[in-house]
Amino acid sequence: MRKNRNKKVSLFNVLISLFLAAAVLVFFVYNIIHVNSLAYDLNNSRTELDKQININNALQIEIERLSTYENIKPVAADKLKLNNLIIKPKNVIVNKSDLDNSKQ
């Protein structure tokens, strides 16, 4: 038969367990706050990247528009005094598949 012993819970053990529980709770709350701030920074970085990509695309379109033959011809004739611009340059189109086939 077992003897029933009434064990008293020491106040020291209760305080230690409360401090440990508080430390674990503070650790998890700090991690949640830190992850949220990182997610906020990531969102801001993605927004800035999207803006930069849009600006880059707009600038590339502007470069393509300004580098056409019709825009270059007046500048070459007026400023550079090139008057032999009667023949329009020919465009050469090379397909990527043709390049891949020639490498093999």
Q: What is the mean pLDDT of residues 87-98?
A: 74
Q: What is the mean pLDDT of residues 7-11?
A: 84
Range of the domain at 44: 11-103
In a domain, 1, yes or no: no
Q: What are the tokens at 38?
A: 């990182």
Total domains present in the chain: 1
Overall residue count recorded for the chain in this entry: 104
- Burial annotation 41-76 (CB, 10 A radius, 16+ → b, else e): eeeeeeeeeeeeeeeeeeeeeeeeeeeeeeeeeeee
Give CA 21 to chain center in angstroms: 39
Identify the residue whose tokens are 């390049």.
99
Phi-psi region of 81 (alpha: psi -120 to 50; beta: other; left: phi over 0): left
Mean pLDDT highest for which of 7-21, 45-59, 65-79, 85-99?
A: 45-59
Please determine, for residue 34, whether its predicted confidence score (pLDDT) is greater than 90.
Answer: yes
**Taking a C-beta distance cutoff of 8 angstroms, is the pair 85, 77 a contact?**
yes
In a domain, 5, yes or no: no
Q: What is the mean pLDDT of residues 27-33?
A: 98
In a domain, 4, yes or no: no
